[in-house]
């Protein structure tokens, strides 16, 4: 059955690439990927590269995302960048990534405020949620998902939930994790069902069906197809494998083939 939801392939470059390197990557990407919105290709570039890329990017081919921002719009917050300062560069913003939750101690409250700030500024938040290895071992996956989802969406009304994307990223599967293990499609399908049930509980079944749910965690060019075939998964968030433009392009091509075949 064809999904009514759009497919997203998002590169998370993390703290890699200078503006010049980012620009060379984009140049390479734009020569290779066709214009079109399915899949919607998104580059979550470092903040320092966003302006350069936004001048160069062909938005018919791909769009930009912020990896991070502070949730207040302006003020005495030395060293911070607000989403209102970069909203003309980006269409999307990652929020609640596990590296921000666990390395930078971002609280559930910070995350909820960031989701609200993105929506207020016309930017689509990509809310990242997922259990740790310990939560998984203790059988607390569903509780961790519910907790992160309800707190992250605390400020989001029924009218605004259509402006949100959810990324399921089990922390134990993210490649930067020392003992990372790729997740099995069955685990991801189950988590996706839990997320949709939780969304239905919060906003109603029809609205829950319309929210895109992506998967992220050690995806590469060889495994992308298997993940994209999971029922209810609407795309991928890719860290390590997105750093090589040719690999990322190959994943975009796979997504185009699989999602347009359905």
Closest contact distance (angstroms) between CB of 110 and ligand PEP is: 18
Closest contact distance (angstroms) between CB of 176 and ligand PEP is: 6
Token representation of residue 250: 């190959």
Q: Which of 216, 234, 249, 251 binds ligand PEP (CB under 6 A)?
A: 216
3-state SS, residue 142: helix
Quick one: 90 or 241, whose CB is closer to ligand PEP? 241
Farthest CA pair distance, the chain: 51
Select the span of 51-59, 186-194, 197-205, 238-246 touching ligand PEP (CB under 6 A). Answer: 238-246
Contact 169, 218 (CB under 8 A): no
Token representation of residue 197: 């049930």
Q: Evaluate the CA torsion angle 174, 176, 181, 182 in order and state its sign.
A: positive
Token representation of residue 144: 């961790």
Which residue of the set 97, 99, 106, 135 is catalytic? Answer: 97
Contact 168, 129 (CB under 8 A): yes
Residue 239 sits in the site that holds ligand PEP (CB under 6 A):
yes
Token representation of residue 86: 């970069």
β-pairing, 62-66 vs 40-45, is parallel
Q: Report how far apart, in Å, the C-alpha atoms of 115 and of each of 99, 127, 138, 224 are.
A: 17, 7, 29, 27
Q: How many chain residues bind ligand PEP (CB under 6 A)?
A: 13
**Interface residues for ligand PEP in 168-187 (CB under 6 A)?**
169, 174-175
Residue 130 sits in the site that holds ligand PEP (CB under 6 A):
no
Q: Is residue 97 annotated as a catalytic residue, yes or no? A: yes
Select the span of 47-55, 108-116, 234-242, 254-262 touching ligand PEP (CB under 6 A). Answer: 234-242
Closest contact distance (angstroms) between CB of 215 and ligand PEP is: 9
Q: CB count, 10 Å around CB of 226?
A: 15
Select the span of 47-55, 58-66, 216-224, 251-259 touching ligand PEP (CB under 6 A). Answer: 216-224
Closest contact distance (angstroms) between CB of 179 and ligand PEP is: 13
What amino acid positions are annotated as catalytic residues? 97, 169
Residues found near ligand PEP in the complex (CB under 6 A): 12, 169, 174-175, 216-219, 237-241
């Amino acid at each position: 059955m064809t999904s009514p939801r759009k497919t997203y392939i998002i590169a998370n470059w993390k703290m890699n690439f200078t503006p010049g390197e980012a620009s060379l990557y984009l140049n390479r990407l734009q020569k290779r990927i066709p214009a079109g919105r399915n899949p919607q290709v998104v580059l979550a570039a470092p903040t320092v590269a966003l302006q350069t890329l936004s001048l160069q990017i062909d938005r018919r081919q791909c769009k930009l995302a912020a990896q991070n921002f502070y949730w207040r719009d302006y003020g005495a917050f030395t060293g911070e960048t607000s989403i209102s300062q970069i909203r003309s560069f980006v269409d999307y913003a990652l929020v609640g990534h596990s590296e921000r939750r666990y390395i930078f101690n971002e609280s559930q409250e910070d995350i909820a405020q960031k989701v609200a700030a993105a929506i207020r500024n016309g930017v689509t938040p990509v809310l990242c949620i997922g259990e740790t290895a310990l939560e998984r071992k203790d059988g607390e996956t569903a509780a961790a998902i519910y907790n992160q989802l309800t707190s992250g969406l605390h400020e989001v009304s029924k009218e605004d939930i259509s402006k949100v994307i959810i990324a399921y990223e089990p922390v134990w599967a993210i490649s930067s994790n020392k003992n990372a293990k790729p997740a099995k499609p069955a685990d991801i399908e189950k988590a996706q069902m839990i997320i949709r049930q939780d969304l239905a509980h919060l906003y109603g079944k029809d609205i829950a069906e319309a929210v895109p749910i992506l998967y992220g965690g050690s995806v590469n060019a060889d495994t992308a197809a298997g993940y994209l075939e999971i029922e209810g998964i609407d795309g991928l968030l890719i860290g390590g494998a997105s750093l090589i433009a040719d690999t990322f392009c190959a994943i975009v091509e796979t997504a185009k083939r699989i999602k347009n075949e359905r």
